[in-house]
A and B are shown apart, each in its own frame.
Chain A
């Protein structure tokens, strides 16, 4: 399957600062990447679908101005959490889809964000 990396794996920041998380597809050109958020002991919640070269599609209830997504190339998508607050503390996971259609998703290792 595809290899997906994320950076950083862990980040601690102060409230009010912005944090950028990178998601890279190492061996596959991903036209579509997905960003999920997972709170402790809860399921993965889709935040947005990141499309290469175009604007991301956000799920209902997700603030697009707070969670900025940039998918500038076929191998890189970034999620920036702007003006982070403690309630944004979560496990953020990206994934890519095999073909962009109904197919297996390959997940990155996740980024643990802690906002103090």
Chain B
């Protein structure tokens, strides 16, 4: 099955700086890559996603890039704010099976 690795596991940035989280996957059949933000004790919320026929997608301060050849995709958050502090999960989807990364705890320091 699919194996998704996510790095780093923790990340601290100063407010206003950028944050980058990277994920790699193993199954070349995976074709959908969402990113979720999860605040403590709450449900994961979809923040951005990308499909395999696209290399980059941007939504305001958030962007995702996908390199299918290398089987990796990244989340980029620019101009970080304290409310961006949360745990972020990447996922890779094969068929209708979601495989989640191990999560990145992002702390934005005011």
Q: CB within 8 Å of B: which residues of A?
A: 1, 32, 34, 41-46, 49, 91, 93, 95, 97, 100-110, 112
A100 contacts B96, C-beta separation under 8 Å = yes
> A112: which B residues are within 8 A, CB to CB?
41
Residue in A closest to B94 when the chains form the complex, CB atoms: A102
For the complex, give the distance between the alpha carbons of A106 and B105 in Å: 21
Q: CB within 8 Å of A: which residues of B?
A: 31-32, 34, 41-46, 49, 89, 93-103, 105
A93 contacts B103, C-beta separation under 8 Å = no
Residue in A closest to B101 when the chains form the complex, CB atoms: A43
B89 contacts A44, C-beta separation under 8 Å = yes
> A110: which B residues are within 8 A, CB to CB?
41-43
A102 contacts B31, C-beta separation under 8 Å = yes
Where chain B touches its partner, the secondary structure class is strand
B95 contacts A102, C-beta separation under 8 Å = yes
Query: Which listed residue, A32, A43, A100, A109, touches B89 by the CB 8 Å rule?
Result: A43
Q: Would A102 and B96 be within 8 Å (CB), given that A43-B89, A110-B42, A112-B41 are in contact? A: yes
Query: Which listed residue, B31, B46, B102, touches A42 by the CB 8 Å rule?
Result: B102
A44 contacts B43, C-beta separation under 8 Å = no
B89 contacts A108, C-beta separation under 8 Å = no
Residue in B closest to A46 when the chains form the complex, CB atoms: B98
B96 contacts A97, C-beta separation under 8 Å = yes
- 7 A-B pairs within 8 Å (CB atoms) are namely A32-B96, A45-B100, A49-B96, A102-B96, A103-B32, A104-B46, A110-B41
> B45: which A residues are within 8 A, CB to CB?
107
For the complex, give the distance between the alpha carbons of A71 and B96 in Å: 17
> A45: which B residues are within 8 A, CB to CB?
100
B100 contacts A44, C-beta separation under 8 Å = yes
B44 contacts A44, C-beta separation under 8 Å = yes
B42 contacts A109, C-beta separation under 8 Å = yes
Q: Would A34 and B98 be within 8 Å (CB), given that A43-B89, A44-B89, A108-B43 are in contact? A: yes
> A105: which B residues are within 8 A, CB to CB?
34, 46, 98
A49 contacts B97, C-beta separation under 8 Å = yes
For the complex, give the distance between the alpha carbons of A87 and B24 in Å: 30
> B42: which A residues are within 8 A, CB to CB?
109-110
